[in-house]
Amino acid sequence: MNINLTIIGQAIAFFIFVVFCMKYVWPPITGALAERKKKIAEGLDAADRAERDLKLAQEKAANDMRASKEEAAAIIEQANKRATKIIEEAKEQAREEADRVKASAEAEVEQELNRAKDALRAQVGALAIAGAEKILEASIDEKAHAKLVEKLAAEL
């Protein structure tokens, strides 16, 4: 193997080329790579944060939805209780009104019954006197007649 001057010249030129690349070409390339690596890392961190924020927002929305449903159910239950209470109150008022009407009707029937009894007593008294007149063939005066009717009515 013959090492001649051209190989030494090529080695020196290659060494100068390597030094030149290390000093002037390699730093911008490594800087660009480092900057790119930093941007990728920031993007991944932002994606992780966005994913966590999304999960938190979904949990919060689910909790809010659950709370809203519970509140709506409570309001509906309260409305149903109120409606039932109003219906029961209306039924009770209707019963009371029916009892009042019934009592009024019973009192009116009692009054009519008493009037009918009084009228019947008066007619019975008049019939008794008429019968007595026919039997006695004599007429009793009006004062005595009224007294007898009242006395007979009181006894009945």
Residue 1 domain-assigned (yes or no): no
pLDDT at 110: 92
Decide if 77 is inside a domain: yes
- What is the residue-wise DSSP string for 54-72? HHHHHHHHHHHHHHHHHHH
Angstrom distance (rounded) from CA 54 to CA 51: 5
Query: Please, where are the H alpha helices in the chain?
Result: 5-20, 26-136, 142-155
Q: Per the domain annotation, does 115 fall within a domain?
A: yes
- pLDDT for 65 equals 96
pLDDT for residue 134: 63
Identify whether 64 is part of a domain. yes
In a domain, 28, yes or no: yes
Kindly list the distances between the CA atom of residue 156 and the CA atoms of 61, 113, 114, 121, 125, in Å, as whole numbers in the listed order.
88, 14, 12, 7, 10
Q: Residue 108 pLDDT more than 80?
A: yes
What pLDDT sits at residue 140?
59
Number of domains in the chain: 1
Q: What is the extent of the structural domain holding 42? A: 7-154
pLDDT at 34 > cutoff 60: yes
Quick check: 137 pLDDT over 60?
A: no
Query: According to the model, what pLDDT value does residue 4 have?
Result: 83
Average of per-residue pLDDT values in the chain:
88
Place of tokens 């999960």: 55
8 Å CB contact between 156 and 127: no
Model confidence at 136, pLDDT cuts 50, 70, 90, reads low
pLDDT of residue 143: 73
pLDDT for 103 beyond 60: yes
- Flag whether 2 is in a domain: no
19-39: average pLDDT = 94
